[in-house]
């Protein structure tokens, strides 16, 4: 059993990279891929744990794109962490995120929920700030009762406090990932547009834009969703991947390798992913 999607405290998770590696060993995984948002900063500590776990420790990241007016996440699996050009591109993305965060502070103040940047930073264990940290800061200041309420009322995608950031196109994200030696994969498509979306034509469009796989197994899918996306990938000839999207305490009840309890990502999916990586390799 493998898990190709998890987050550490270097993005919006709560576990250290070292802790994730040990959790992978505890879950008896055969492979685990770290996929923090817009960064590979946790990778060195993660890979340094290889001698302490039987699970293969793999490198990835998760990028945000704009697709049909919505935010679409793309996993870059098996990217080369030593690729200097890709690292520079991730620094650029983090700059866009920081600009969005500043604009969100202004928007929240206009809505009667003033926060200082330091209030948000106090909720994070790394320099990368996400809406998870905004939600925790809003709760700490008493503007909402609990962090999930912040997403429901203030900073969710369709809420008055949400501020979009300049995002990549899917084709641009796919190119960056392939040029870094990785495989671009559509992350949790069942969560796009609130799950009320018909994917057959849209996924074919993304495939034409360079996306090579999709996440057919996911920690929060219902059984019918899993069957649908696995079958869709097969119809299109795309690689199937899978992962829990584990965030630690930020997603309570969701376990590494098992999701909400029923997730089982087959080992052979990694073989097919690595085959696709070789097919897409640049000379």
Domain boundaries defined on the chain: 2-90+166-279, 91-155
2-90+166-279: in CATH 2.60.120.10:
no
Specify which residues 71 forms β-bridges with: 66
Strands 183-186 and 70-77: antiparallel
Rounded Cα gap, residues 235 and 229, in angstroms = 10
| Model pLDDT, residue 157 | 79
% of the chain exceeding 70 in pLDDT: 98
- Mean pLDDT over 30-48 rounds to 97
Rg, Å, the chain Cα set? 18
pLDDT tens-digit map of 233-255 = 999 999 999 999 999 988 888 99
CATH architecture for segment(s) 91-155: Orthogonal Bundle (1.10)
Residue 23 has pLDDT above 80, yes or no: yes
CATH topology of 2-90+166-279 equal to that of 91-155?
no
Residue 166 has pLDDT above 80, yes or no: no
Dig out the tokens for 193 from the structure. 């547009």
Residue 55: left (phi > 0), alpha (psi -120 to 50), or beta? beta
pTM score, two decimals? Answer: 0.86
Rounded Cα gap, residues 248 and 13, in angstroms = 6
| Model pLDDT, residue 283 | 40
- Mean pLDDT over 68-86 rounds to 94
Q: Give 159's pLDDT tier (boundaries 50, 70, 90).
A: very high
pLDDT tens-digit map of 111-134 = 999 999 999 999 987 777 888 899
The H or E element spanning position 234 is helix 223-236
- Mean pLDDT over 277-282 rounds to 78
HSE toward the beta carbon, residue 224, CA cutoff 13 A? 1
| Model pLDDT, residue 194 | 65
| Model pLDDT, residue 273 | 97
| Cβ-proximal residues to 231 (8 Å cutoff; 6+ apart), any chain | none
Strands 31-34 and 2-3: parallel
């Amino acid at each position: 059993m493998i898990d190709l999607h998890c987050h550490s405290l270097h993005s919006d998770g709560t576990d250290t990279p070292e802790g994730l590696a040990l959790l992978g060993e505890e879950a008896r995984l055969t492979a685990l891929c770290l996929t923090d948002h817009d960064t590979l900063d946790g990778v060195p500590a993660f890979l340094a744990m290889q001698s302490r776990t039987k699970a293969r420790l793999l490198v990835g990241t998760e990028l945000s794109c704009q697709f049909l007016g919505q935010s679409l996440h793309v996993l870059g699996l098996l990217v080369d962490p030593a690729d200097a050009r890709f690292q520079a591109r991730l620094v650029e993305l983090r700059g866009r995120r920081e600009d969005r965060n500043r604009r969100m502070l202004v928007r929240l103040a206009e809505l009667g929920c003033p926060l200082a940047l330091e209030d948000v930073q106090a909720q994070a264990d790394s320099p990368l700030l996400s809406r998870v940290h905004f939600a925790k800061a809003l709760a700490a200041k008493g503007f909402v009762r609990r962090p999930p309420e912040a997403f429901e009322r203030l900073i969710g995608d369709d809420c008055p406090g949400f501020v979009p950031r300049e995002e990549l196109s899917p084709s641009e994200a796919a190119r960056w990932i392939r040029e870094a030696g990785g495989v671009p994969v559509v992350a949790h498509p069942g969560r796009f547009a609130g799950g009320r979306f018909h994917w057959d034509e849209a996924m074919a469009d993304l495939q034409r834009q360079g996306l090579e796989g999709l996440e057919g197994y996911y920690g929060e899918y219902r059984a019918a969703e899993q069957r649908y996306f696995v079958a869709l990938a097969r119809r299109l000839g795309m690689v199937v991947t899978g992962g829990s999207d584990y965030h630690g305490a930020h997603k309570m009840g969701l376990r590494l390798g098992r999701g909400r309890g029923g997730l089982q990502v087959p080992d052979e999916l990694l073989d097919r992913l690595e085959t696709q990586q070789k097919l897409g390799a640049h000379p």
